[in-house]
């Protein structure tokens, strides 16, 4: 009897135990799931925010000093003359000056703040804000290696059409969009104007412009937190009729430097994806961000900003559909996907604990942020610290009063020349353009130096392909492909041409590397080994060609 009762108890306990465990563990599992989702969201946001900040740091730093040059050296009157003239002349100047200055869509924010204070028409300012981030000498040369040069030159011409049409219509609908009554703050010669340049840049780096830059970074950070990992691979194929519209929705919150946008365009050309979507990406992804949208609404109101955005989207999307088929590469088999936009989604392929994602984030940022980007971040931090010190130490404006004083005339020798601030400002802007052009030779080294770098990247990429290390292979394959493009540009700069034979050999290496990447990602070890051998052979032919 005792044994029978014990058996009934054990049987009853066994039946009840799963339900008991489930009831006790369900809240715990839900809490764990929610914690994992929150960690993925937070670290996805943090990684994309930090990556974009590092990429933008050199351009943001340049933008603060260009804004200070307009304010302190040129002055508002000379700035109005620089961007003045007839309606079409002003828009063309805005497009041309924007194309020459080395800024991105975040770095252009402090510049347009000063253009607004100078009394420039709204259409001209917005035209400059759109065109400045699209091209510069570095990105234009890089773009010429992506497809036929006619495609990139056509994109540049279309950007002029966009700023001319949208700017002209907007100025005619809203003719009184310029700010008036702002006093000129140009500084006379001497130590005062050098102090003014630094203090103005520092204050800009700790003021309203910095908040707008942060808004632009928040936009791309939110995309990295919300969009699932690698979920954008099939939305921009050549046979997708809505590719341009989808890209327009993605492009506004996205932040891309001119070089990054060109690189993504290169991947789209390489895979024969939608060329119209590539154009929309360049125009909106590189030309717009949420900071610019916030600034526009704050300065011109919701109605005027809505009209500008509507005109912009109509023209950009219309041109995107117009150039899609004429510029489509005829010598490439279309692919059914692209990895160009994986960087806008969540950076991690799977979920994990807070500690795991923290370690993965630190490793990823340490690997992805380049040395010159670290230096730029340090300089930007120093500029911000200097701006904070000036704001705290000069609350009464004594420094500004001293800077604004006209120095007493003094006796000078026959060799002493006083350079007017407008001349010095103009030389500074021209110097930036020249420095950007000269920097091309440093950014795109000669073939001998490129192959030294490629040797390192090739060894890492192929060894990772043989071992099946997905993360290592993805990183070094991208580096390898990047150097093959720099090889073409560097050769063009020094010899004046890149032959079709050289171009095809470099393209073949990139195609084989892309297939190797897919094999490693899919876990096809034997197939990956076969592609490693093909990459080695195509690399040798490329080296002989160059």
pLDDT for res 261: 77
Mean pLDDT, residues 160-171 taken together: 86
pLDDT for res 54: 93
Most confident stretch, 162-166, 175-179, 537-541: 537-541
Q: To the nearest 10°, the Cα dihedral for 266, 271, 277, 280?
A: 0
Mean pLDDT, residues 502-516 taken together: 89
Six-digit token string for 55:
């990429």
Mean pLDDT, residues 492-513 taken together: 87
What is the assigned CATH class of domain 447-545? mainly alpha
Mean pLDDT, residues 445-472 taken together: 90
pTM: 0.79
Contact status, residue 489 vs residue 511, Cβ threshold 8 Å: no
pLDDT for res 147: 56
pLDDT for res 382: 95
Query: Which of 361, 445, 287, 370 is CA-nearest to residue 58?
Result: 370
The pLDDT-based confidence of 214 (bands split at 50, 70, 90) is: very high
> Is the pLDDT at 485 greater than 80, yes or no?
yes
pLDDT for res 7: 52
**Distances, alpha carbon 491 to alpha carbons 159, 487, 534, 545, in Å:** 28, 6, 24, 11
Mean pLDDT, residues 492-509 taken together: 86
Place of tokens 């029978």: 4
> Is the pLDDT at 14 greater than 50, yes or no?
no
Q: Residue 241, Cβ neighbours under 10 Å: how many? A: 8
pLDDT for res 15: 47
Contact status, residue 380 vs residue 61, Cβ threshold 8 Å: yes
In tens, the pLDDT along 306-341 reads 998 999 899 889 988 888 888 777 766 666 666 677
> Is the pLDDT at 368 greater than 90, yes or no?
no
Six-digit token string for 527:
């197939």
The pLDDT-based confidence of 16 (bands split at 50, 70, 90) is: very low
pLDDT for res 21: 47
pLDDT for res 388: 93
Mean pLDDT, residues 108-118 taken together: 92
pLDDT for res 355: 83
Domain locations in the chain? 40-334+346-406+418-443, 447-545
Mean pLDDT, residues 168-187 taken together: 81
Query: Does the CA dihedral 298-302-308-314 come out positive or negative?
Result: positive
Mean pLDDT, residues 176-203 taken together: 80
> For the chain, first and last CA: distance in Å?
94
Mean pLDDT, residues 451-465 taken together: 91
> Is the pLDDT at 158 greater than 70, yes or no?
yes
pLDDT for res 145: 63
Contact status, residue 443 vs residue 138, Cβ threshold 8 Å: yes
pLDDT for res 216: 92
Mean pLDDT, residues 4-13 taken together: 50
> Is the pLDDT at 9 greater than 50, yes or no?
no
pLDDT for res 411: 52
> Is the pLDDT at 20 greater than 70, yes or no?
no
Mean pLDDT, residues 437-449 taken together: 80
pLDDT for res 462: 92
Calculate the average pLDDT of the chain.
82
Contacts of 363 (CB under 8 A, 6+ apart): none
Contacts of 365 (CB under 8 A, 6+ apart): 47, 50, 51, 54
Mean pLDDT, residues 221-230 taken together: 85
pLDDT for res 497: 82
Residue 496 buriedness (CB in 10 A; 0-12 / 13-18 / 19+): exposed
The pLDDT-based confidence of 480 (bands split at 50, 70, 90) is: very high
pLDDT for res 148: 60
Contact status, residue 122 vs residue 78, Cβ threshold 8 Å: no
pLDDT for res 10: 46
> Is the pLDDT at 78 greater than 80, yes or no?
yes
Percent of the chain having pLDDT more than 70? 86
> Is the pLDDT at 424 greater than 80, yes or no?
no
pLDDT for res 4: 52
pLDDT for res 1: 45
Q: Which comes out higher in pLDDT, residue 161 or 142?
A: 161
């Amino acid at each position: 009897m005792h044994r029978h009762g014990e058996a009934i108890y054990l049987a009853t306990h066994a039946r009840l135990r799963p339900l008991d465990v489930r009831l006790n563990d369900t809240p715990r599992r839900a809490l764990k799931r929610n914690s994992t989702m929150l960690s993925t969201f937070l670290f996805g946001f943090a990684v994309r925010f930090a990556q974009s900040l590092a990429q933008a740091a050199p351009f943001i730093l340049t933008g603060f000093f260009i804004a200070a040059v307009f304010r302190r050296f040129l002055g508002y009157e000379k700035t109005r003359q620089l961007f003045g003239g007839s309606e079409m002349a002003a828009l063309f100047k805005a497009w041309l000056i924007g194309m020459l200055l080395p800024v991105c869509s975040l770095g252009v924010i402090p510049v347009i703040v000063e253009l607004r204070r100078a009394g420039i028409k709204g259409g001209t300012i917005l035209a400059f804000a759109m065109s400045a981030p699209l091209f510069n000498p570095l990105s234009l040369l890089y773009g010429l290696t992506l497809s036929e040069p006619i495609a990139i030159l056509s994109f540049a011409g279309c950007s002029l059409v966009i700023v001319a049409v949208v700017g002209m219509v907007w100025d005619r609908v809203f003719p009184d969009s310029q700010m008036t009554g702002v006093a000129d703050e140009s500084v006379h010669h001497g130590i005062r104007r050098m102090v003014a340049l630094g203090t103005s840049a520092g204050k800009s780096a700790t003021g309203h412009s910095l908040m707008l830059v942060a808004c632009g970074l928040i936009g791309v950070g939110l995309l990295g937190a919300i969009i699932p990992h690698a979920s954008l691979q099939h939305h921009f194929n050549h046979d997708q009729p809505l590719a341009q519209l989808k890209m327009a929705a993605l492009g506004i919150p996205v932040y891309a430097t001119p070089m990054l946008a060109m690189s993504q365009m290169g991947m789209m050309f390489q895979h024969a994806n939608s060329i119209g979507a590539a154009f929309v990406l360049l125009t909106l992804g590189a030309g717009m961000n949420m900071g610019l949208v916030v600034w526009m609404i704050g300065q011109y109101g919701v109605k005027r900003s809505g009209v500008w955005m509507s005109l912009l989207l109509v023209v950009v999307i219309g041109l995107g559909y117009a150039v899609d088929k004429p510029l489509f590469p005829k010598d490439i088999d279309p692919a059914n996907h692209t990895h160009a936009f994986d960087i806008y989604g969540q950076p991690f392929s799977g979920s994990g604990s807070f500690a795991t994602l923290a370690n993965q984030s630190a490793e990823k940022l340490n690997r992805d942020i380049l040395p010159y980007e670290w230096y730029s971040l340090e300089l930007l931090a120093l500029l911000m610290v200097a701006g904070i010190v000036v704001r705290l130490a000069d609350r009464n404006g004594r420094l500004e009063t001293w800077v604004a004083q006209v120095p007493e005339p003094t006796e000078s020798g026959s060799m002493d020349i006083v350079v007017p601030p407008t001349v010095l400002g103009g030389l500074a802007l021209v110097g930036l353009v020249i420095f950007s052009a000269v920097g091309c030779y440093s950014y795109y080294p000669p073939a001998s130096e490129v192959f030294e770098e490629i040797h390192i990247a090739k060894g890492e990429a192929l060894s990772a392909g043989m071992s099946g290390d997905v993360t290592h292979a993805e990183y070094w394959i991208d580096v390898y492909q990047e150097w093959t493009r720099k090889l073409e540009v560097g050769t063009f700069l020094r010899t004046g041409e890149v032959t079709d034979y050289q171009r095809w050999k470099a393209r073949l290496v990139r195609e084989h590397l892309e297939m190797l990447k897919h094999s490693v990602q899919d876990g096809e070890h034997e197939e990956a080994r076969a592609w490693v051998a093909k990459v080695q052979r195509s690399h040798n032919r490329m080296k002989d060609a160059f």
